[in-house]
Amino acid sequence: MNGKLACGKTILTGNKAAAYGFALAELDVFGGYPITPSTEITEEMALLTSRGVISTTYRNTDSELASMALGIGVATAGGRYGTATSSQGLALMFELLHWATTAELPLVIVNTNRSLGAPWSIHPDQTDSLLFRDLFMPQIYC
């Protein structure tokens, strides 16, 4: 849902707000692999970069693991990097996320919480992000 209120303020979905936050952060690279319910963030970043609204380099990776590997490379080289994921995608990043946090690399990951329930679940909960609660990274819930 997006729209203008009479007072001039704009209503955004959480995903659009996250994408605009990435845009305002002036990332060097955004890498993402679309996974529900965070797909809208990746789509919006692709749209903003393809239209030239922002100068961020957009990379559609072949998996969440590749997205995290790209982030490690960008951050190690001193660049600003962001990605978005959810649920099984965050779980796939597990090994490299440990490496990135231990190296204290500056990465921003928007995790749109979704259950890790088997075989598939689209219900919202925090089982995906709570797997990482003891890593050296702050988690902010909105």
- Please give, one letter per residue, the 3-state secondary structure of 45-108: HHHHHHCCCCCCEEEECCCHHHHHHHHHHHHHCCCCEEEEECCHHHHHCHHHHHHHHHCCCCEE
Is residue 5 one of the residues assigned to a domain? no
Determine which of 6-15, 31-40, 91-100 has the lowest per-residue pLDDT on average: 6-15
Residue-wise over 38-47: b if at least 16 C-beta within 10 A, else e? bbbbbbbbbe
> Which whole number is the average pLDDT over 81-96?
92
- Looking at residue 3, its pLDDT comes to 66
Average pLDDT, stretch 5-14? 82
In a domain, 137, yes or no: no
24-48 confidence digits (pLDDT tens): 999 999 999 999 889 999 999 999 9
- Is 85 within the bounds of a domain? yes
Residue 50 within a domain: yes
**Average pLDDT score, the chain:** 89
Determine, yes or no, domain membership for 18. Answer: yes
- Let me know: does 67 contact 31? Beta carbons within 8 Å: yes
Does residue 5 register a pLDDT over 80?
no
Give the mean pLDDT of 97-125: 84
User: Would you say residue 104 lies in a domain?
Assistant: yes
Q: Return the pLDDT at 1.
A: 47
Q: Is residue 4 part of a domain?
A: no
The total number of structural domains in the chain stands at 1
Q: For residue 29, give its domain range.
A: 12-130
Please report, for the domain that includes residue 18, its CATH number: 3.40.50.970
Domain assignment present for residue 126? The answer is: yes
